[in-house]
DNA sequence: GGAGACTACTACACATTGCGGAGTACTCCG
DNA sequence: CGGAGTACTCCGCAATGTGTAGTAGTCTCC
């Protein structure tokens, strides 16, 4: 039901993942995440996560004006960000595998 | 690194899963989880989760004395617990699949 | 030109939940 | 008796996602 708790600690990873291919600004990252299936992500969570990752030194940031609305604050992965993404992905995969085994045991 | 955040919302599921096959008491559930690969789970988290699930009406509970130490508080799944387990498993699988796609995109 | 929708971001207070540490208490062994 | 292992409780903390409110820009439609 409540996917919000599942996101804990994983939103970082998801945000890094959608920024891997191309820089993006908050509102855009939000749309990418929702399009990817994370439909219940709240906007404040995304903005907060971007700020946190930036402060942690994983993202670059630059502001660009837009002609379709307010200015946009773009974020992109730097070296630290890529490393973090790689590490977090491994951690996640390991964790997901563990859960998988736990849940499937005795299912047969 | 820090798997503690990944556990958020998933520990409930993991606890339900290890109780699916047989009733268990806190200390035992802790060992089962660690044996299953969740080695960093803290004991307080498990006891807390058991209490929460019990209060939520998903578990039955009964105390049994032990000859190898203090009394043991056993917990077991009731109907609500089994339903919760089934529902949470589905939610988790869906979520894990979504993340999987997100992480593998462009990997090729 | 004003209302409303969509875009885009910030700030703050809050709820959930896992963790650490301290404390209690029982059994067994040396 | 002291220490280890077992078994549980309580309390306060920290991390993080959410809701709400607020600011502000563009565009459309009546």
- Of the pLDDT bands very low, low, confident and very high (cuts 50, 70, 90), residue A1 is low
pLDDT (average), residues A10-14: 98
Contact between residue B58 and residue B77 where contact means Cβ atoms under 8 Å apart: yes
Residue B108, pLDDT above cutoff 60: no
User: Pick the residue with more confidence: B68 or A105?
Assistant: B68
CA–C1' nearest nucleotide, residue A72: C8
CA distance A7 to B5: 9
pLDDT of residue A106: 60
pLDDT of residue A107: 54
Contact between residue B38 and residue B32 where contact means Cβ atoms under 8 Å apart: no
Nucleotide D27's nearest residue (CA vs C1') is A68
CATH pick for A4-104 out of 1.10.10.10, 3.20.20.370, 3.30.1360.230, 1.20.140.10:
1.10.10.10
A102 Cα to chain B: minimum distance (Å)? 7
Residue found under tokens 């670059």? A60
Please spell the DSSP secondary structure of B38-89, one letter per residue.
Answer: -TT--HHHHHHHHHHHHHTT-EEEEEE--SSSS-EEEEEE-HHHHHHHHHHH
Nucleotide D24's nearest residue (CA vs C1') is A70
| Mean pLDDT of all residues belonging to chain A | 94
- Of the pLDDT bands very low, low, confident and very high (cuts 50, 70, 90), residue B8 is very high
pLDDT of residue A35: 96
pLDDT of residue A52: 97
With H, G, I as helix, E, B as strand and everything else as coil, classify residue A64: strand
CATH code, B4-103: 1.10.10.10
Chain B partners of A6 at a C-beta cutoff of 8 Å?
Answer: 8-10, 91-92, 95
User: Pick the residue with more confidence: A35 or B69?
Assistant: A35
pLDDT (average), residues B4-33: 96
B12 Cα to chain A: minimum distance (Å)? 11
Looking at chain B, the whole-number percentage of residues with pLDDT higher than 90 is 88
Please write the tens of the pLDDT for every residue from A65-104.
988 889 999 999 999 999 999 999 999 999 999 999 999 8
Residue B64, pLDDT above cutoff 90: yes
pLDDT of residue B69: 87
A65 touches strand C (CB under 7 A): no
């Amino acid at each position: 039901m409540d996917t919000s708790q599942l996101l804990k600690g994983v939103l970082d990873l998801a945000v890094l993942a959608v920024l891997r291919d191309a820089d993006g600004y908050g509102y855009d990252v939000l749309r990418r995440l929702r399009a990817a299936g994370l439909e219940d992500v709240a906007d404040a969570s995304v903005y907060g996560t971007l700020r946190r990752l930036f402060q942690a030194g994983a993202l670059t940031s630059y502001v660009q004006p837009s002609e379709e609305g307010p200015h946009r604050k773009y974020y992109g992965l730097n070296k630290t960000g890529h490393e973090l993404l790689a590490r977090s992905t491994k951690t996640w995969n390991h964790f997901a595998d563990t859960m998988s085994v736990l849940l499937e045991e005795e299912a047969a």
